[in-house]
């Protein structure tokens, strides 16, 4: 992962963007000003609050990074720090994913519970078929979960 992707991933502001063009605005920093695509993107950014904010945040991050990094002798250390932070970031994503999964399973079990007697009476109902399907999925998920 290059430094730019790391910065994008680390900025909550950028992650929460609602505009589908936001991911393109960062190329403004690389494109020659006279390039047609530069003008097109710049025009959009000037009129789009989400993209404008994202770009400004990103530029600030770059400035911060330039202040904190450089000097060849600490480059290895900086590189290691980035790598560490990226792997931490992925661990957090992973945990969130598992948390969401657990919540979904809990809700599903609650649903089955509240169905009670009606649940038994409707063994062939659509809901029951869904539950069978869910059981199969749960089996696969749990198997993966406890491996």
Cβ burial, residue 3 (10 Å; 0-12/13-18/19+): middle
Q: Closest approach of Cβ 21 to Zn ion, in Å?
A: 4
Name the token pair of 80. Answer: 């290691």
- Candidates 14-22, 26-34, 64-72, 92-100: pick the segment binding Zn ion (CB under 5 A): 14-22
Rounded Cα–Cα distance for residues 135 and 109 (Å): 10
Does position 51 interact with Zn ion (CB under 5 A)? The reply is yes
Complex with Zn ion: residue 14 or 131, whichever CB lies closer: 14
Contacts of 105 (CB under 8 A, 6+ apart): 138, 141
Contacts of 114 (CB under 8 A, 6+ apart): none
Site for Zn ion in 64-93 (CB under 5 A): none
Site for Zn ion in 92-111 (CB under 5 A): none
- Determine contact, residues 95/37, Cβ cutoff 8 Å: no
- Candidates 16-24, 34-42, 72-80, 115-123: pick the segment binding Zn ion (CB under 5 A): 16-24
Does position 48 interact with Zn ion (CB under 5 A)? The reply is yes
- Candidates 17-25, 95-103, 113-121, 136-144: pick the segment binding Zn ion (CB under 5 A): 17-25
DSSP assignment letter at 71:
-
Does position 21 interact with Zn ion (CB under 5 A)? The reply is yes
Q: Closest approach of Cβ 12 to Zn ion, in Å?
A: 17
């Amino acid at each position: 992962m290059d430094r730019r992707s790391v910065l994008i991933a680390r900025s909550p502001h950028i992650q929460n963007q609602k505009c589908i063009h936001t991911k393109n605005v960062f190329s403004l920093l690389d494109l020659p000003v006279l390039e047609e695509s530069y003008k097109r993107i710049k025009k959009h950014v000037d009129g789009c609050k989400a993209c404008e904010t994202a770009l400004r945040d990103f530029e600030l991050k770059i400035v911060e990074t330039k202040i904190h990094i450089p000097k060849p002798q600490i480059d290895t250390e900086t590189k290691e720090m980035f790598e560490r932070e990226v792997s931490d970031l992925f661990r957090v994503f992973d945990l969130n994913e598992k948390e969401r999964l657990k919540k979904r399973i809990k809700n599903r079990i609650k649903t089955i519970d509240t169905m009670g007697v009606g649940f038994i009476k409707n063994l062939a109902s659509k809901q029951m078929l869904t539950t069978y399907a869910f059981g199969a999925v749960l089996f696969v998920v749990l198997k993966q979960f406890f491996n």
